[in-house]
Amino acid sequence: MLFALGFSLVPFLMVIAPAPLPSVAAVIQADVLIGAGHEGRPQSCPQFPQHKCNLGTPGERELTPVVADEATRILRAYGVTVARVPADFPGHYAVDAAAFIHFDGTEPVCRSGASIGYHRPEDKPAADAWHTLYAKYFPFRFQPDNFTLNLSQYYGFRQVTARDSALVIEFGELSCPAQRAWLAPRAKWDGALLAHFLSARIGKGKVPDPGPFRR
C-alpha cells in the first residue's frame, strides 16, 4: 500500500531533525520555497538514499506538482521570488517562508483530512493562519497540528531556514472518495490559495484570495 504523510499508525517518512545551517556560500536565497511532495520519484530515489523513497498515496504525485506549479506561477507574476523544488533536492535554502505540499492517505479510508506540520514552535502562528484560511473552504475534518512525527520532523525542514515559517501542508485525504472528489478538480485553486497565503505571510506581492472555487 502506498500512502502519504498521513495516518499515525504507519511511519511513512524518515524522521530527520533539522541540520545546522551550512556555510553562507552554500545557501540559496529566495522569498519562498515551494516543494511538491513525492514529485520526481522513484527516479530520484537512488540519488538520495538518505530519504525513504515514499511514492505517496495514489494520485498524490500527479496533484502536488499542479498545486506547486500554480502557486509558483502566481507568486512570480506578483514579483515574489520562488525556489520551486521536487521531493528530493540538494542544497540549503534561506527563505521567508517554505511550504511542502502533500495529500494524505489512510487505511481504513476516511480517517484523516487536512493537516499541518511544522518543526519549530514559532511556526505555529503561520499554521494557525493557514488553518483559518483553508477552513473557510475545506468542508471536511482537520487533524491536529503535527499529529504524526512525520509532520513535525519532516525531512525537508533540514534543508530550509525560514524567517517566517516552514510548513508541511496536507490539503486533504485522497484515499477518501468524498474528499478526493472535492480535491481533484481544485488543484490549481489550491495553488492560488497557497500563493495568497504565502504572499500575505511574507508581506510581498499582495496576491489576492481567489475566493470560492468556480469551475
**Would the pLDDT of 19 be above 80?**
no
Written as nine digits, the cell of 208 is: 489576492
d(CA 205, CA 207): 6
Per-residue pLDDT of 84-103, as tens digits, reads 999 999 999 999 999 999 99
Judged against a pLDDT cut of 70, whether residue 23 lies above it is answered with: no
Residue 159 CB neighbour total at 10 angstroms: 21
CA torsion, ordered 80, 86, 92, 93, to nearest 10 deg: 10
pLDDT of 9 reads 33
Cell numbers standing for residue 215:
469551475
Q: Which residues contact 9 (CB under 8 A, 6 or more apart)?
A: 107
pLDDT digits (tens, 9 = 90+) for 161-187: 999 999 999 999 999 999 999 999 999
Checking DSSP bridges between strand 92-104 and strand 160-173, what pairing results, if any?
A: parallel
- The reported pTM is 0.86
What are the cell numbers at 118?
511544522
How sure is the predictor about 46, in pLDDT bands with cuts at 50, 70 and 90?
Answer: confident
Could you tell me if 155 and 85 are in contact, meaning their C-beta atoms sit under 8 angstroms apart?
Answer: no
Average pLDDT over residues 125-150: 97
User: Domain spanning 27-117+126-202: which CATH class is it, in words?
Assistant: alpha beta
Q: How far apart are CA 32 and CA 68, in angstroms?
A: 12
Averaged over 19-24, what is the pLDDT? 45
Q: Where are the domains of the chain?
A: 27-117+126-202
pLDDT tens for residues 51-68? Answer: 777 778 999 999 999 999
* Ramachandran bin of 110, using left for φ above 0, alpha for ψ from -120 to 50, beta for the remaining angles: left
Residue with cell 524567517: 163
Q: What is the predicted pLDDT for the residue at 165?
A: 98
pLDDT at 172: 98
- The answer to whether 167 and 128 are in contact (CB under 8 A) is no
